[in-house]
């Protein structure tokens, strides 16, 4: 019986503290844990200069944000972040400042260079913030899978760029579970990646930070999951010596031909899946292609379970109704009721563990 797990940003946030929503991009400087050397109660000038070089992407990002949103020039905290290198941590930042909104504006302006900067920032922020996370939830999840793998045929579909699922593989070769990205890489940085026994396919529809693309010859390389913000600084294509970039497809961007095959494989698995569990992903309207993929591929008799978070008791029923209504609208062909579980990823895993 084919069973599919779909992971979105909410799952990686719960497992590895990867940034999401108003944090993504904006709290990068803070998350990279960079404290200034103080002098007379203020950050030392030379240290600010040093960090301006080290965090040049963040600085460029703040300047870009200022151009897109002129009102930020009025914000004293923002100006200080820019001129004196202080952190700028948003608190309940309005939705229009989120990365996906910024990207939408940039694509409308056809400003590819700035979109590339956002891509670099997203890369740096995710790898730096998940650097020393404990990542327990994904690990426990994969442990469970390896236990009941014999009974079930599992595919994971991930909308995330982070490498947290693979981290388990490299730390736990003896646990006997391996991840297969189902991509024909042109180049491997680690031979032992291919292949073990208990293989779980992980289909990453939007690419992954450990995949390096050459924009000259379109060759794709696979790197170790353990990345830092500077990891790509001197990575060159083996074939044409062009600089490699992390292969990620941002919202509003066209899917690269290189991974069209993954979308086909996802469609094939969605068609035969008896059960689909969606964790921390909400099918936002800008993910038109993903919504289409699920709408056109899911079997009408599939059992669908949605795992999400709602902390306020009095909101649980409202949220459940909202989610069910939204799913009915997106996927009107589904016959069965959609199960909504609002206890979050952590509780979902511990309930599964109890069942085993």
List interacting residues with Zn ion (CB under 5 A). 214, 216-217, 219, 237, 239-240, 242
Distances (CA, A) of 43 to 46, 59, 77, 90: 9, 16, 15, 20
CB nearer Zn ion, residue 242 or residue 286: 242
CB of 195 to Zn ion, least distance (A): 25
CB nearer Zn ion, residue 236 or residue 275: 236
CB of 188 to Zn ion, least distance (A): 15
CB nearer Zn ion, residue 8 or residue 212: 212
Q: Round to whole Å and give the CA distance between 159 and 299.
A: 21
CB of 216 to Zn ion, least distance (A): 5
CB nearer Zn ion, residue 98 or residue 247: 247
Give the residue from 197, 212, 270, 275 showing the smallest Cα distance to 243: 212
CB of 267 to Zn ion, least distance (A): 29
CB nearer Zn ion, residue 220 or residue 270: 220
Q: Which two tokens stand for residue 96?
A: 């229009």
CB nearer Zn ion, residue 137 or residue 214: 214
Q: Round to whole Å and give the CA distance between 299 and 301.
A: 5
With a CB cutoff of 8 Å and minimum separation 6, the contacts of 172 are 139, 142
CB nearer Zn ion, residue 171 or residue 241: 241
- Contact call for residues 28 and 124 (beta carbons, < 8 A): yes
CB nearer Zn ion, residue 97 or residue 239: 239
CB of 121 to Zn ion, least distance (A): 24
Buried/exposed code over 237-266 (b: 16+ C-beta within 10 A; e: otherwise): beeeeeebbbbbbbbbeeebebbeebbebb
CB nearer Zn ion, residue 214 or residue 340: 214
DSSP, collapsed to helix, strand or coil, labels residue 52 as helix
Q: Is the peptide bond before 185 cis (omega within 30 degrees of 0)?
A: no
Q: Round to whole Å and give the CA distance between 78 and 65.
A: 10
CB of 123 to Zn ion, least distance (A): 19
CB of 242 to Zn ion, least distance (A): 5
Q: Round to whole Å and give the CA distance between 30 and 301.
A: 46
CB of 258 to Zn ion, least distance (A): 12
With a CB cutoff of 8 Å and minimum separation 6, the contacts of 330 are 283, 291, 294, 295
Q: Round to whole Å and give the CA distance between 173 and 333.
A: 41
CB of 20 to Zn ion, least distance (A): 32
Which residues on adjacent β-strands are paired with residue 275? 3, 303
């Amino acid at each position: 019986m084919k069973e599919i797990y779909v992971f979105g940003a909410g799952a990686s946030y719960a497992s590895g503290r990867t940034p999401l929503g108003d944090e993504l991009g904006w709290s990068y400087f803070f998350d990279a844990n960079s404290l200034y050397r103080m002098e007379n109660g203020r950050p030392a000038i030379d240290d600010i200069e040093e960090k301006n070089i080290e965090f040049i992407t963040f600085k460029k990002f703040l300047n870009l944000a200022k151009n897109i949103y002129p009102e930020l020039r009025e914000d004293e905290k923002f100006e200080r972040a820019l001129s004196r290198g202080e952190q700028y941590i948003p608190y309940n930042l309005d939705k229009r400042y989120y990365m996906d909104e910024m990207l939408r504006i940039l694509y409308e302006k056809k400003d590819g260079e700035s979109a590339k900067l956002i891509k670099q920032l997203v890369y740096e922020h995710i790898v730096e913030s998940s650097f020393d996370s404990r990542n327990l939830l994904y690990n426990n999840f994969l442990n469970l899978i390896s236990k009941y793998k014999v009974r079930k045929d599992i595919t994971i579909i991930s909308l995330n760029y982070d490498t947290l699922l693979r981290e388990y593989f490299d730390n736990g070769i003896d646990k006997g579970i391996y991840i297969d990205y189902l991509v024909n890489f042109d180049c491997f940085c680690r031979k032992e990646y291919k292949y073990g026994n208990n293989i779980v396919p992980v289909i990453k529809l939007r690419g992954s930070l450990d995949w390096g693309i050459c924009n000259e010859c379109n060759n794709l390389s696979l790197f170790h999951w353990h990345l830092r913000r500077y990891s790509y600084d001197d990575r060159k294509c083996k074939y044409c010596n062009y600089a490699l970039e992390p292969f990620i497809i941002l919202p509003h961007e066209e899917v690269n031909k290189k991974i069209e095959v993954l979308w086909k494989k996802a469609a094939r698995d969605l068609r035969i899946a008896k059960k689909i569990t969606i964790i921390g992903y909400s099918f936002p309207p800008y993910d038109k292609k993903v919504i289409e993929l699920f709408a056109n591929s899911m079997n009408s008799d599939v059992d669908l379970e949605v795992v999400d978070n709602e902390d306020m008791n009095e909101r649980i029923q409202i949220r459940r109704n909202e989610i069910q209504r939204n799913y009915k609208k997106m996927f009107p062909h589904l016959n069965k009721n959609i199960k909504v579980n609002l206890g979050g990823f952590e509780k979902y895993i511990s309930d599964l563990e109890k069942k085993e």
